[in-house]
Amino acid sequence: MLRRRLFVPLTSGAYDWFKDRGKRWELRTYGRTYTERTVIPGRSVELRRGYGGESLWGVILQRCVANSLDEIFQTVDFQSVVPVAATLDEAKQIVEDLLGVRQRYIAFEISIQTGAGTRAHSPVENAREVEPSQ
């Protein structure tokens, strides 16, 4: 079965982080649109500035589901999620300001397709699921 792309609307800031600042991982509150059933390594993803702006296209390489930001950031480098953060605490504060404090999160690494204004991060053949570090 061919799956449609996963649509991910972003704030202008987060969109620019993907486009220009080396952001590779998207972090979302777990549930409804963002679960293991929808965030699938190898699936096409559209990152859009808001709901009607420009888009970047890519492929999900890997995902990580965790019960806290601490668990996420034990597995995923905080600067690949929030490239403007100088410290882990600053990254957690930015995420909490955007998403609030949640009981479950899902993070997924995206390989951006190369083209005008985009770049690739790593090969799609490496698509996989990662477990949070214990």
At 68 the pLDDT is: 96
State the pLDDT at residue 114. Answer: 74
What is the rounded average pLDDT of the residues 58-67? Answer: 97
Residue among 52, 5, 28 nearest 109 (CA): 28
Cα 129 to Cα 36, 40, 49, 101, distances in angstroms: 10, 9, 26, 24
Query: Rounded mean pLDDT of the chain?
Result: 87
| Band (14; pLDDT cuts 50, 70, 90) | very high
The strand pair at 128-129 and 55-66 is best described as parallel
Q: Which tens digits make up the pLDDT trace of 82-134? A: 999 999 999 999 999 999 999 999 999 999 987 634 333 333 444 455 556 54
pLDDT for the residue 21: 87
What domains are there in the chain, each with its CATH number?
Answer: 6-121 (2.30.130.30)
When mean pLDDT is compared across 2-11, 55-64, 120-129, the lowest value belongs to: 120-129
